[in-house]
Chain A
């Protein structure tokens, strides 16, 4: 398996623009997580899905952030409009639960810079 795939790897945009980050989880995994990592705040859980259904979005910072998972193999995290303080590395992770399989697999991340 190719692991968790994220795109783009790097994104540079201007304040006010819409940004869409994409994630393809590992096939067969039933949970998907979106995280944000910054020097100031460390690793933050933004939202997670179970079988494509959002379970907890309490970590989403503002209404400017939204996430969807239209099917088991694809999820998006959208920021509209983007602001400089959204600059961070965004990670997607997936996991297959049950039978002792409790390791989260992380993607390589998307480094977002908002100018």
Chain B
């Protein structure tokens, strides 16, 4: 089937620490992969995406690489800031179902000064 699994939160880091949030997906078809971010009180917004194997998506210092061999799309950032505190969702597209996405359960990140 189609599913996305993220590491459970909450994740608490100090400012300037290195961040990794793990995400794996089921290998049905050739999905596009996404990371969305939800800041408090807001809707989700696209952070980055990758559409094929070995692509790297990047934005605002965040990166994720589409790894087909490990069916993973881990989110990383070298130095987090307090303003990165949010909930992060990994998602995959579904072949032949238009714009529908399957989301992971979300990982809450809290960055302390």
Complexed CA–CA distance, A4 and B49 (Å): 20
Task: Classify the interface of chain B: helix, strand, loop or mixed.
Answer: loop
> Could you tell me if B45 and A106 are in contact, using CB atoms closer than 8 angstroms?
yes
Please judge, given known A-B contacts A42-B106, A43-B89, A43-B106, whether A102 and B99 are in contact too, CB under 8 Å.
yes
> Could you tell me if A108 and B42 are in contact, using CB atoms closer than 8 angstroms?
yes
Cβ proximity bits A30-58 to B, threshold 8 Å, 1 near / 0 not: 11010000000011010010100001100
Using Cβ atoms and an 8 Å threshold, which residues of chain B touch A93?
43-44
Is B93 interfacial (CB 8 A cutoff)?
yes
Complexed CA–CA distance, A42 and B107 (Å): 10
Those of A57-115 within 8 Å (CB) of chain B: 91, 93, 95-97, 100, 102-109
> Could you tell me if B46 and A45 are in contact, using CB atoms closer than 8 angstroms?
no
Number of residue pairs spanning A and B whose beta carbons lie under 8 angstroms apart: 54
Give the interface size class of chain A: 20 to 34
Complexed CA–CA distance, A93 and B49 (Å): 17
Is B25 interfacial (CB 8 A cutoff)?
no
Those of B84-103 within 8 Å (CB) of chain A: 89, 93, 98-101, 103
In the complex, what residue of chain A is closest to B91 when comparing beta carbons? A104
Complexed CA–CA distance, A105 and B34 (Å): 13
Complexed CA–CA distance, A33 and B103 (Å): 13
> Could you tell me if A55 and B98 are in contact, using CB atoms closer than 8 angstroms?
yes
Please judge, given known A-B contacts A43-B89, A100-B51, A103-B49, whether A91 and B44 are in contact too, CB under 8 Å.
yes
Complexed CA–CA distance, A103 and B93 (Å): 10
7 smallest CB-CB distances across A and B, nearest first, come from: A106-B43, A95-B99, A31-B99, A106-B44, A42-B105, A103-B46, A97-B99
**Chain A interface (Cβ within 8 Å of chain B)?**
4, 30-31, 33, 42-43, 45, 48, 50, 55-56, 91, 93, 95-97, 100, 102-109
> 9 A-B Cβ contacts within 8 A?
A30-B98, A31-B98, A31-B99, A42-B103, A43-B106, A93-B44, A97-B99, A102-B51, A109-B42
